[in-house]
Structures are given as C-alpha cells and as structure tokens.
Amino acid sequence: MKIMKTNQLISVSLIILFIVALILRLIIPLCGELFLIKNAIVLDDTFIALSIARNIFFGNGYSFNGIELTTLITTLWTLVLSVFGFLSKDMLLMFSSALGGAFFVFSALLFYLILKKIFNRIDVPLIIITFFLFSPFSILISLNALETPFFIFFLMLIFWFYISFIRKKNFSLVRILILNILLFILILTREEGYLVFFSFIF
C-alpha cells in the first residue's frame, strides 16, 4: 500500500514537472525578440535559419539573401519552419523558440521512458529528468530556435524505439523500416546523425 502511494506521488510529480517545463518554454518566447536576444537565448545562426525559412516560403529558394543558394545549414528544421514563413520575423522567432521548447519537453518524456526501462524504477529517472528539464543550460538549448531540440527529440525517439523493440529481438519489417526512417530524419536534421546511423549499422 505504501509503495503504491509512493508510486502515485511520483507519477503526479512527473506530470506536474512536464506541465511546468512546457509552460515555462512557452512563456519565455512570448517575452519577445529583444528579450531573447539580450539574454543570449537565440544566436546569429537562428536568424540565418529563419531568413532561409522565410525565403523558401516566399519562393526564393533555399537562400539567406533571396538571391544565392545557401549551403551548410541544416535542412529539415529550416523546411519545417518554412511552413510558417507567413509569420512576421519576430513572430517566427518566438514561434520557433516555443516549438523547439516543446520538442525538448517531449524529448524529456522519451528520456524518462528510456531511463525507466534501464533502472526498472521511477524515482531515479524522475530526479535525472528534473535536472534535464530545468538546468539553465538545458533551458537555453531548448529555446535557441535552432534544430538542436528537434534533433534531440528524434535521437531520444530512436533510442526508445531501439530499447523497446529492436534490442529485445522483436523484429518486423515495419519496425526496421520505421527505424531507418527515423535515422534518415536524424541525418537530415544535423550532420551528427551520421554517427548515430553508423553506430546502428556497425
């Protein structure tokens, strides 16, 4: 009975934790572009990615200045943001920051599920996730409006998928296909995705 109450308390704490983390990451971007810049939450690369996204939306191609094609900028996140290129520059900045924050919180949920499988308990993962969600560095990373939270989300999704199915030898053609699609998305998000891909291959 005592163990059941403890588990229920931890479960409630976990729900509150994720709700607070999500609300925090939705409120901070609403403070505006000037706040995000002054507090070094967004970086120069952020504005490059947003300019490219807006140029894609307005039919100017994958370009920073709307004239020449741009290279060496992560593709998938920019393409996702281009769907919302109709927003003004400051609104797109706030939206992309909040969207990245939401992806980070969902990443934390997947991370918790991974830790729960590893430790086979719920208290230790809760402590780890608290630091993961609320350390100042994590908050800055999650709100920089770049592809990092997007990358972390798919990275956690891949590891969760691997631990839940592949590691248990629970193979099927569909699951192998899903894993490969996720790995491909990871590669399109950041170049480091190749390292994860090759770790699965070899």
Task: Collect all residues with Cβ–Cβ distance below 8 Å to 87 and sequence separation of at least 6.
Answer: 95
Q: Quote the pLDDT of residue 115.
A: 93
174 band by pLDDT with thresholds 50, 70 and 90: confident
CA distance 51 to 114: 36
H-state helical runs in the chain = 2-30, 33-38, 44-57, 75-82, 89-119, 123-134, 136-142, 148-161, 173-189, 193-201
Can you tell me the mean pLDDT for 3-25?
Answer: 84
Which pLDDT value is given to residue 19? 95
Using the predicted structure, report yes or no on whether residue 2 has a pLDDT greater than 60: no
CA 115 to chain centre: 18
Contact 73, 188 (CB under 8 A): no
CA distance 50 to 131: 30
For residue 202, the model assigns a pLDDT of 67
Contact 73, 49 (CB under 8 A): yes
Say how many C-beta atoms besides its own lie within 10 A of residue 148's C-beta.
Answer: 19
Which burial class, exposed, middle or buried, applies to 163 when counting CB atoms under 10 A from its CB (0-12, 13-18, 19+)? Answer: middle
Q: Which residues pair with 69 in a beta bridge?
A: 63
pLDDT at 4: 61
Per-residue pLDDT tens over the stretch 45-101: 888 889 988 988 988 888 877 777 776 656 799 999 999 989 988 999 999 999 999
Averaged pLDDT, 118-127? 86
Quick check: 166 and 179 in contact, CB under 8 A?
yes
Six-digit token string for 122: 């719920």
- Confidence label for 112 from pLDDT (cuts 50, 70 and 90): very high
The whole-angstrom separation of Cα 27 and Cα 31 is 7
User: At which residue do the structure tokens 């590893």 appear?
Assistant: 118
Evaluated on CA atoms 119, 123, 124, 130, the torsion sign reads positive
d(CA 179, CA 143): 27
- Is residue 157 predicted with pLDDT exceeding 70? yes
Length of the chain: 202
Q: Return all residues near 86 (Cβ < 8 A) that are at least 6 apart.
A: 57
Confidence of residue 135 (pLDDT cuts 50, 70, 90): very high
